[in-house]
Amino acid sequence: MARREPVYEVVFLLAKGIIGTQGLRVQYRGLENIPASGGVLLAVNHTSYVDFLEAGIAVKRAGRWPRYMLKAELKKIKIMAFLIKHCGAIGVDREHGAESYHEAVTALESGEAVIVYPEATISRSFELKEFKSGAARMSIEADVPIVPVIVWGTQRIWSKGTQRRAGRHRFPVVVEVGAPLLPDGATPDVLTTRLRSAMGDALERAQRGFPAPAGEDWVPARLGGGAPAPDEALRLEQQEFALRKAKREASGG
């Protein structure tokens, strides 16, 4: 399959190399919760531009080859288009998402592992945002479990509203994998609520004992950090989306 081409092998080696070069101290916890075979949807929180590395490696360490659901506009970048093609990623068009949705469901029904971000965009508050219902609907339609995955600590490296910290820094990172959630005849709304609750529990476990220096821009306000509270983060996000829309309209896009 495309995702097992040599290109994908090289990508994973590069990802491991990047983490090694940065000296990140990554703890992978609960990998036994990722089924060894069969279709499975892995729902990951989104706090940084680089959390996909740790999430993917966690799934690979569990013996699976993940297929990411990524923004379709990344295909406009030549190198990303090449990687998406050869790594089996599923491009998501937010305005016309039916095609990518059905591609993901087909992959799940075929027994593949698919990574999805139910928050859709990065959380500036580093708390869980409201979830889209797509993950629950895919789980129900394909009749596969959803596994909650929390990546915590990568927002310290590179995220929205934070200082970018490149180089070797030996930051701690936790990947916390929760128990699978079965559709069990639930409606999309009910399953989405269950998923968000399970990811909230996993987030609390990941944060337990994790450094939280007061005032730091990567630490949630709830923990005494300098990140915006959820309400303020939502306002900033809406402001950002409005500016993007205005630019698209001005350029005729």
Q: Taking each helix axis from N to C terminus, what angle separates 134-142 and 188-207, rounded to the nearest 10 degrees?
A: 110
Average pLDDT of the chain, as a whole number: 91
Domain ranges of the chain: 6-228
Please check the confidence at residue 15 and state whether its pLDDT lies above 90. no
What single string gives the DSSP state of each residue in 110-156?
TT-EEEE-TT-S--TTSS--PPPSHHHHHHHHHT--EEEEEEESGGG
Name the one residue in this structure whose structure tokens are 């966690």: 58
Architecture of domain 6-228: 3-Layer(aba) Sandwich (3.40)
Question: pLDDT tens digits, residue range 17-58?
Answer: 999 999 999 999 999 999 999 999 999 999 999 999 999 999
Decide if 200 contacts 128 (C-beta within 8 A): yes
DSSP E strand stretches across the chain: 25-29, 40-44, 66-71, 90-92, 113-116, 146-152, 172-177
Please check the confidence at residue 3 and state whether its pLDDT lies above 60. no
Question: pLDDT tens digits, residue range 67-86?
Answer: 999 876 666 666 666 767 76
Amino acid found at 156 = R
The pLDDT value given to residue 2? 42
Both tokens of 76, joined, read 């406009």
The pLDDT value given to residue 79? 65
Which one has a higher pLDDT value, 35 or 96? 35
Decide if 130 contacts 167 (C-beta within 8 A): no
